[in-house]
Amino acid sequence: MLPIRTTVYHSRWSGREINFSVGSQTVVPREQQTCTVNTGDVIYWKEWELESGAHEAVAIYYGAEVTRDHRGYLPVNVFASVSQEDWPRVEEVGLRIWKEGTEEVIVSAVSREEHGQ
């Protein structure tokens, strides 16, 4: 799905999180699930209990948090992480969106080889 141009929002329920809606073309299973995330964690979230029309999102955390929504704890799939050297940039974007509202961004993946690892 990447790269994509999307509107990024700040989370109301799970603290230091920026997120954007996605529409996967396949059924994404519950895996690597947790309710505690750390700085740089990239997660997939879905309204798991709905059979169709479920909302899906990807979120990036710029601080350690407990994932939750209005119903309580919210298990999420952790599937990637932002390199530690990029954490300040993610925090900068997160704080700007929190203070100023949504922001249009381009989300892309960088391979370990491209990142020098």
Q: What is the pLDDT of residues 14-73, one digit of tens each?
A: 789 999 988 877 778 889 899 999 999 999 988 766 666 668 899 999 999 999 888 888
Higher pLDDT, 105 or 114: 105
Residue 79's contacts (CB-CB under 8 Å, 6 or more residues apart) are 32, 42, 43, 44
Residue 88's contacts (CB-CB under 8 Å, 6 or more residues apart) are none
3-state per-residue secondary structure call for 49-78: CCCCCCCEEEEEECCCEECEECCEECCEEE
CATH architecture, domain defined by 4-107: Beta Barrel (2.40)
In angstroms, the CA 57 to CA 24 distance is 9
Tell me the domain boundaries of the chain: 4-107
- Asked if pLDDT for residue 116 goes beyond 80, the answer is no
